[in-house]
Amino acid sequence: MSNLDEIIKSRRDTRHFTNDAVPDAVIEKALQAGHWAPSVGLTEATKYYIIKSAEIKKAVKELFLEYDKKAAGCTDDELQKIQYQALKLEAIEDAPLGLVICYDRSVLNHFTIGTVGSNEAIKFSAVCAAQNIWLSLTEQGYSMGWVSILNYYQFKKILGLPEHIEPLGYFCVGKPATNYENQPMLQQLHWKHKSEAPFVAEITQLCPEEEKEIKEDIIHSAASDVLLKNLQDKIDQKTKPIGSLGVLEKIAKQFGEVFQTLKPKIKQPHIVVFAADHGIAQHGVSAYPQDVTRQMITNFLEGGAAINVFCKQNNIALSVVDAGVNYDFPSNTKLISAKIDKGTHSFLNDSAMSKMQMELCFSKGAEIVINIAKQGSNCIGFGEMGIGNTATASVLMSVLCNFSIEDCVGRGTGVTDEKLEFKIDILRKAIENYHGPKDVDSYLAHFGGFEILQMAGGMLEAYQNNMIFLVDGFICSVAFLIAFKKNPAILKNAVFSHQSAEKAHKKLLDYLEVSAILQLDLRLGEGTGCALVFPIVQSAVAFLNEMASFESAGVSEK
C-alpha cells in the first residue's frame, strides 16, 4: 500500500488482532514516523513505552474493565447499555504488543515557543505523533487501537510513570484480524455513522464585538409586603414563644422570601469546590508547596477529603472545578474543567491575569451555576482550594475595603509568626507596587485568583436563578465581597455558614454587616462550613413547614 489517500482511508481503530508477533523493524519504523511528527517549539515532549509483559497487560485490562462498567452506567437507556456492552472496545491482552504514548510536562518548566498561548500544545504534538504511528503501521499491514477508558491516575501508578509524564492512553498494536468491511467498527456495528464529508465553512467577516461587560444584574423586586407579613405571621404562630428559635426564624423567613412561598423546599443541594493555583505562592507565603493543590484535587475526586465526608453525611451533591490548577488532569475524571490558565502570575510586580481572563472567570463561574440550576437545584454552597489563596484574598479585601494589609492577613494554612510577618511584608510590597486604576475590575485583574473570581461569578448567577447560596469561610467571603460590589442585592440570597479562624474574616463580616451561623474555629476551606451548616438550614425550613401552630395544636397563646 503506497498511495497516501488509501493509507489514510484504510487506517482503523483496531480491536481484533491475529496472534502474529509485531517484528521489531515494524514498530521501529512506526515510532520513527511518530518522531517525525510536528513538535511544538521542537520540544520533543512525546515519549513512548513498549508493553510486552502479560502481567502488566492484565493489570491494565482490569483497570479498563472497572471504568468500562462505569461508562456503561452512563448510557441513556437500557437498550443503549446493552448495545454498549456488546461492543468490543479493547484488545489489551489479545494484541501482541502494547504501546503507551505520552507527553512530558516538564518541558514547560522552561520557555518554549508555541506553548505560551496553550500549554496543551505539547499534548497536541503527541496526538500528531500517534497519528503518524497509526499511518505507518497501516502502510506496513499492521494497526493500532486506542484505549482511553481508564483511570489515568491508577494507570500511571501501574506503569510507574513519573508525575510529569502524562499518557494519551494505552495503544494495542498488532496485525488486524478483520478489515471491518472497510468502514469504522462503530459504523459497521450500526452504533454511529460517519458523515460523508467534513464540515467546512468560510468565515468572511469579523464577529461583532462581544459585550464584554458582565451582564448587569436585574435587581429582583423585593418580595411583596403581603408575603413577608404572612411569613412572619406563620413563624410567630408556631407553638413557641415569639423569637425563641432565634437564627432559625431568620433563616426560615429568608428562604420563604427568596423562593417566594410560605412553604419553601430545599431541592437537590449542591456544593461546588473551585480550585486554582496562585503565582504569589512562589514567594513562600504558604506553609505548603503549590503541588498540594493538585494533590488535594485528586483527594477530592477519590472521596477522601473532609468535604467528601460531610457531603456524603448530609446527602449533598459535590462538584469540583479546575478553575486554574497548574496541572493537566485526565479528561475522563469527574472534574469540571473551567481552566483559565495554569495558575495566575505573581502579583508582586505584575498583573495576576489579563482583563480578558478576569471576565472569563465570571462567565465560567456563572455557566457552572446555570448547569446546576438546570438540574433542579435551588441551594448551592461555594468552597475553594488553592495554595496561596489566603494571600490573594487578603490583598483583595485590603484594596476593595480600604483596610490596611495587616488587618487582612492571617495564618492561612498555618504559617509561623516569622512566616506571617514575611507574608505581610510581601503583600504590602505588592500593594505598594500597584500604580493602576482604582476601580474594582482593575483590582480584580491585578490581584485576583481564578477560583475566587469564578465563585463571585457563580454567586451572581445563583442570585439571578433565585437560589439560596451558602458562603464558606474567609476566601469565599472575599468572593462574596466582589460579587456584592457588583450587585448589592445578592445579600438577600446569601447564608454565611461560619466565621473562620482567620482573624480578617470577622472584620470582613462586620464590613458586610452580616453574621455567620457557626463559629467552630475552622480554617480548612473546601466548602466544609457550608456542609456543616446545612443541617441547621434544613431545620429552619422543617420547622416552618412542619411545626404545629397554636391553632392547629389547640395550644393557648399568652
- Catalytic sites, residue numbers: 526
SS3 category, 106: helix
Burial 491-511 (b: 16+ CB within 10 A, else e): eebbbbbbbbbbebbbbbbeb
Nearest to 342 by CA among 355, 323, 359: 323
Question: The sheet that has 336-337: what strands, in order across it?
Answer: 336-337, 317-324, 270-276, 379-385, 468-471, 494-496
Burial 367-400 (b: 16+ CB within 10 A, else e): bbbeebbeeebbbbbbbbbbbbbbbbbbbbbbbb
Calpha distance 68→448 (Å, rounded):
40
**Residue 518: strand pairing partners:** 498
CA distances from 381 to 76, 273, 416, 432 (A): 29, 8, 31, 35
Calpha distance 253→467 (Å, rounded):
14
Q: Strand 165-174 vs strand 143-147: parallel, antiparallel, or unpaired?
A: antiparallel
> Could you give the dihedral angle defined by the CA atoms of residues 475, 477, 482 and 484, in that order, rounded to the nearest 10 degrees?
170
Output the nine-digit C-alpha cell for 213. 461587560
- Residue partners of 46: CB distance under 8 A and separation at least 6: 34, 35, 37, 39, 101, 102, 103, 104, 125, 126, 129
Phi, psi of 435 (to 5 degrees): -130, 20
Q: Which residue has the cell 413563624?
A: 235
- Residue partners of 449: CB distance under 8 A and separation at least 6: 276, 278, 324, 344, 352, 386, 388, 389, 392, 393
Phi, psi of 19 (to 5 degrees): -85, 0
Answer whether 338's CB lies under 8 Å from 322's CB.
yes
Q: How far out from the chain centre does Cα 195 lie?
A: 33
Identity of the amino acid at 288: Y
Answer whether 301's CB lies under 8 Å from 430's CB.
no
For 153-161, the CB contacts below 8 A with 24+ separation are: 153/298, 153/330, 153/333, 154/63, 155/60, 155/63, 158/56, 158/59, 158/60, 158/63, 159/49, 159/56, 159/100, 161/49, 161/100, 161/102
Calpha distance 92→237 (Å, rounded):
69
Answer whether 231's CB lies under 8 Å from 253's CB.
yes
Calpha distance 187→197 (Å, rounded):
15
